[in-house]
Amino acid sequence: MKKIVVIPGDGIGKEVMEAALMVLNALNLDFEYEFAEAGHECFQKYGDTIPEETIKLVKKSDATLFGAVTTVPGEKSAIITLRRELDLFVNLRPVKSLPGVGGLFSGLDFVIVRENTEDLYVGLEEYTSEGAVAKRVITRRACERICKFAFDYALKENRGKVTAVHKANVLKKTDGIFREEFYKVSKDYPGIEAEDFYVDAMAMYLIRKPEDFETIVTTNMFGDILSDEAAALVGGLGVAPSANIGQKTGIFEPVHGSAPKIAGKNIANPTAMILSTTLMLKHLNKNKEATLIEKALKKTLKKGIKTPDLGGKHTTKQMAKAIKKELLKIKNSYSNQG
């Protein structure tokens, strides 16, 4: 039995999590769920955005589903705290076209592999007499393991090319190390093409010819920016799932925020959260089940059953129920064939 921690969070996080679990539970998997708290409402109750009890539960789990949380100004980020505590060094952001969601392109299928632990996100800033200075931390160890993950992922997913993104022409030492480690790692994967681009060029190429890319690997800050840009190509953050992966476990979450303005209105788009569950299933080596959910989601979208942000008129729960219905149909047809 797999132990799954569920952190619904705040705002629409609770609504999209409920929708995702409705779909996921239709598979009758051998999962044991344990609910935990984090975020703004948690802070109001306990004075802590991420209690130690939540961290302990996540550390003991096989995987964690994380909804969305509202930031508490001046307090620690729940998700960043978990990434650091569990050394979740990979942020995986698939970019995949879906039917009927209004993306700028069709037929896209690539992934951005973002280093998740260092760069400017270490938070080493200080004021000076002239303003402020931020320290950018790039280590060879972190560069090597994120590049190795990218090549291993490409190999596993039958992707023939890995593209490194950096700014080594300006950041000669930090990004110079990243590029060096990328090409060192690439030598162990002779069957996969390795190339690199400057980040400004990549920002343009993602608009002009995104179909040219399969697996993109980059540093923390560049990955943060490029992955949001890439999400816009396929319909926005409402359809963008993500995974935070380490050596032992992973946290799977939609990219969107808690959207307090629409919370409680039953109109939040559950797509990104549902797709995040498929990333979790793949991480747990349940690829067949992940594929079933993806197929059910696509069938539902093709029928025009979608929330207002996607141009539809359906509620969160209506969309989730429709996906569950399609999932059960597909599942039963497979059972009958077997």
Q: What is the pTM of this model?
A: 0.94
Both tokens assigned to 321: 């129920």
Residue the block writes with tokens 């923390």: 220
Got the DSSP string for 122-176? Answer: EEEEEEETTEEEEEEE--HHHHHHHHHHHHHHHHHTT--EEEEEE-TTTSTTHHH
Nearest to 305 by CA among 293, 316, 290, 294: 316
Give the percent of the chain with pLDDT over 90: 94
Question: At residue 330, does pLDDT exceed 60?
Answer: yes
CA gap 205, 290 in Å, rounded: 30
Nearest to 239 by CA among 146, 40, 105: 105
Instruction: Answer whether 1-88+240-338 and 109-233 agree in fold.
Output: yes
Look at phi and psi of residue 210 and say left if phi exceeds 0, alpha if psi is from -120 to 50, else beta.
alpha
Question: At residue 72, does pLDDT exceed 70?
Answer: yes
Give the percent of the chain with pLDDT over 70: 99
**Residue 156: is it exposed, middle or buried by C-beta count within 10 angstroms (0-12/13-18/19+)?**
exposed
What is the strand order of the sheet 215-218 is part of?
A: 31-35, 2-9, 63-68, 250-254, 241-245, 90-96, 109-115, 215-218, 161-166, 193-198
Please tell me which residue in 87, 188, 200, 212 is annotated as part of the active site: 200
Question: At residue 336, does pLDDT exceed 70?
Answer: no
Question: At residue 306, does pLDDT exceed 60?
Answer: yes
In this structure, of 28-37, 61-70, 72-81, 166-175, the range with the lowest mean pLDDT score is 72-81
Q: Kindly report, residue by residue over 308-322, the tens digit of the pLDDT.
A: 999 999 999 999 999
pLDDT band at 281 (very low <50, low <70, confident <90, very high): very high
Class of domain 109-233: alpha beta
The neighbour count for residue 263, using CB atoms within 10 Å, is 18
- Give residue limits of the domains in the chain: 1-88+240-338, 109-233
- Give the residue ranges of DSSP H helices in the chain: 12-25, 40-46, 52-60, 78-85, 140-156, 174-186, 199-208, 220-233, 271-283, 287-302, 316-337
Across-strand partners of 271? none
Q: Does the annotation count 224 as an active-site position? A: yes
Q: Kindly report, residue by residue over 231-248, the tens digit of the pLDDT.
A: 999 999 999 999 999 998
The CATH classification number of 1-88+240-338 equals: 3.40.718.10
For 332, residues 6+ apart whose C-beta sits below 8 A from its C-beta are none
Q: Does the annotation count 152 as an active-site position? A: no
- Tell me, what's the pLDDT at 69? 96
Please tell me which residue in 10, 14, 119, 121 is annotated as part of the active site: 121
Please tell me which residue in 224, 282, 309, 324 is annotated as part of the active site: 224
**Size of the chain in residues:** 338
Please tell me which residue in 167, 286, 306, 324 is annotated as part of the active site: 167
Q: Kindly report, residue by residue over 144-164, the tens digit of the pLDDT.
A: 999 999 999 999 999 999 999
CA gap 207, 225 in Å, rounded: 14
Q: Does the annotation count 309 as an active-site position? A: no
Q: Does the annotation count 175 as an active-site position? A: no
Nearest to 22 by CA among 252, 300, 325, 337: 325
CA gap 147, 164 in Å, rounded: 8
- Tell me, what's the pLDDT at 104? 87
Please tell me which residue in 96, 228, 295, 325 is annotated as part of the active site: 228
The neighbour count for residue 239, using CB atoms within 10 Å, is 28
pLDDT band at 337 (very low <50, low <70, confident <90, very high): low
Question: At residue 338, does pLDDT exceed 60?
Answer: no
What's the whole-number average pLDDT of the chain?
Answer: 96
Q: Does the annotation count 30 as an active-site position? A: no
